[in-house]
Structure 1
Amino acid sequence: MIKFFRRVRYDLMGKNKTGKYLKYAVGEIVLVVIGILIALSLNNWKEDLADQGEETRILGGLKQEFETNLAEVSRNIKLNTSTRESTIALIQLIHTDEPFANQRYLDSLLNEVYMFGSFDAQTGLVNEVISSGKLSIIKDTELRSRLTGVSGLLDNLEEDYIIRNDYYYNHIIPYLSKYVSIINQDKFMNFSGWSESYESNKLDDSPFKQKYMDIDLLQFENLFAIHKVNNDFVNLDEYDLKEFFTQTLKIINTNLDLKE
């Protein structure tokens, strides 16, 4: 009987010790889990702060990039609008009874229809953000969408630049070279749209006689009618880009204001 009670007491003591060890172990595990969760929270907090700082840096860079592009496309719109208006004036001149009566005016128009412009957009930071995988750092979904869509707009514009330029140099210049002296247009050449300081040396008028009477007026008209259409597409693309840059800048500035 005594042995039996000793056995029971021994078993109870062992179970009590096991329970204590189990509670201790569970407590240790809970502390470890809490520590891990705290560490993860701190790490996530640090990463969030870093991302916020990087987003601010990216937004500031995008602001400068888009402001430059907006100024450049606005300058180009002015140049290409002048080209379009001069092309219309030239076509209207062709429709008159004596289109070649005022040689000086004709030369001025032929120069102005040539003074079209193009621009290379700055996309360095946009490309960096996309290629580096940092696009997700930008929280504004509309801004992310715009950054990925700008290349398509620029590709369309570049294609229309090429069509216009190729047409002018492959068709209009060879045609004009047969009948008029292109150097007579040089005195009207104005580079102020590209540079405030550059001044070109003006050429003297050609001593050779113009062949106005050999010009086929219908062909002459058609050449510049197509040139107008080509420039219309360029103008259309540039106006779309100007609106795109303007609206994107508003979104960028709004996001920067929220960070202040």
Structure 2
Amino acid sequence: MIKIFRKLRHQLLNQSKFSKYLIYAIGEIILVVIGILIALQINNWNEQQKNLAKEQTILKQLYNEYQSNLAQLDEKVLMRNEGLEACNQLLQQIDHPEQINEEVFYNSLWKLLRDPTFDPIKNDIVGSENLRLIRNQELVRILSNWSTEVYQVQELELEYKKFRSEIIIPCYNRLGVSRNVNDILWKNGYTPTEALDKKTSSKFTIKSTKKELDLKEVLNDVELEGLISQAITFNLVTNIQSQTLRDRILNMLNILEKEIEN
């Protein structure tokens, strides 16, 4: 094609037909420009397809990560709910010491010692150029706010961890119930709620304390009653924040499902 145009151009020049040559030259320039534009369009289309493929990879990765985050968050909420139930049982026995059940009592005390901590999968999408590949702006907004909202939950968890270490454990030690709490935990086999392998169960013989221990006096302890009440507040507030975080995850997963190509 180019050779034909060149031959035609030489013929027009040789025949001194300048006006026709000028028209031809303009046409040739237009064809070159059109060719360049088409090439740019093809290149842009290829880049767009690459970006779309990358976006799909990122979306699928996010979907898998936040499915795992949801499962972990639900596990922590469950642990706190179990702690709330334990607190209710303890307060019930404190208010009605004649109905005390030692095994229930010690099991309930143990559940206050757990400190559920939410540790979601961290990715490097936010703050990287990969974020620009995500076209859904609602999803971008949720991702951008995620770390701040997680921190609000983790901050409450750290407060409870400190409360457990500095208040609950010293109180148990002062009351002399720590050995019995751990004995009840392990003697029948125990699998932590947060265990990586839910099928494992460990047993260990500690045996209860040989010291004199009057559980009615323990139930009458003002500090114990107070820390149980405080544990209720800690768990309730953290679960309220966790529910908000859970809603964020569900919204994100819903958006991801719609954005991921089948």
TM-score (norm 2): 0.82
Counterpart secondary structure, 2:240: helix
Q: 1:214 to 1:130 in 2, by over 3 A?
A: closer
How far apart, CA to CA, are the structure 2 residues paired with 1:31 and 1:108?
A: 84
The code of the aligned residue for 1:51 comes to N
| Aligned residue number for residue 212 of structure 2 | 209
| Alpha-carbon offset, residue 222 of structure 1 | 1.5
Counterparts of 1:112-131 in structure 2 under 5 Å? 112-124=111-123, 128-131=124-127
- Greater radius of gyration (CA): 1
Q: Equivalent of 1:245, from 233, 244, 249?
A: 249
The code of the aligned residue for 2:107 comes to S
CA displacement, residues 84-122 of structure 1 (integer Å, 9 cap, x when unaligned): 1111221232223558x5444322221122234223111
The code of the aligned residue for 2:121 comes to Q
Aligned-residue identity in percent: 25
| Aligned residue number for residue 188 of structure 1 | 184
Q: Equivalent of 1:220, from 207, 224, 229?
A: 224
More displaced 10-residue stretch of structure 1: 221-230 or 18-27:
18-27
TM-score (norm 1): 0.83
How far apart, CA to CA, are the structure 1 residues paired with 2:141 and 2:18?
A: 61
Task: Name structure 1 gaps, 5 residues minimum.
Answer: 1-15
Counterparts of 1:132-171 in structure 2 under 5 Å? 132-171=128-167
Q: Does 1:76 align with 2:72?
A: no
Root-mean-square deviation (Å): 2.4
| Aligned residue number for residue 32 of structure 1 | 32
Task: Name structure 2 gaps, 5 residues minimum.
Answer: 1-15
| Aligned residue number for residue 5 of structure 1 | none
Greater relative CO (CA pairs within 8 A, separation 6+):
1
For this pair of structures, how many residues does the alignment match? 240
The code of the aligned residue for 1:26 comes to I
| Alpha-carbon offset, residue 34 of structure 1 | 1.1
How far apart, CA to CA, are the structure 1 residues paired with 2:157 and 2:115?
A: 10
